[in-house]
Amino acid sequence: MSHNPKVCFFDALTACEYIIEFTAGISFEQYLGDPKTRFAVERQFEILGEALNRIKKLSPELLNDVTDWQDIILFRNIVIHAYDRLNDGIVFDSAINDVPRLAEELKAILNILTEK
């Protein structure tokens, strides 16, 4: 993973897109019953949080238009360091309800960074 903010935004957006793809059209029960999907989604949340954490260190002002970016970084820490207490319901809910909006925010920021 790069230490260039633009590349980190791209990595974060890609992680969002994978989360959306992996959870599209499935119920929570299907999510729970498919460890490959659960683990893939959790991995993408790790990448998402790490990418935003790198941006925070490199150019924190670029995160001004990212809703709840601090919570996303904290969530990454929970996925990695408190994996045994991870709540699948929260992960799934965030994947379905929060990640699509976040992806749109990241796309808008990437468009601005690409124009520069």
| Candidate list 38, 76, 85, 101, residue with the active-site label | 76
Structure tokens at 49: 């949080």
In whole angstroms, how far apart are CA 13 and each of 9, 26, 30, 97, 100? 6, 21, 25, 16, 10
- Based on the residue annotation, tell me whether 101 is a catalytic residue of this protein: no
| Candidate list 38, 43, 81, 85, residue with the active-site label | 81
| 20 vs 24: CA distance, rounded Å | 6
Q: Give residue for tokens 């995160």.
A: 63
- Based on the residue annotation, tell me whether 3 is a catalytic residue of this protein: no
Active-site residue numbers?
A: 76, 81
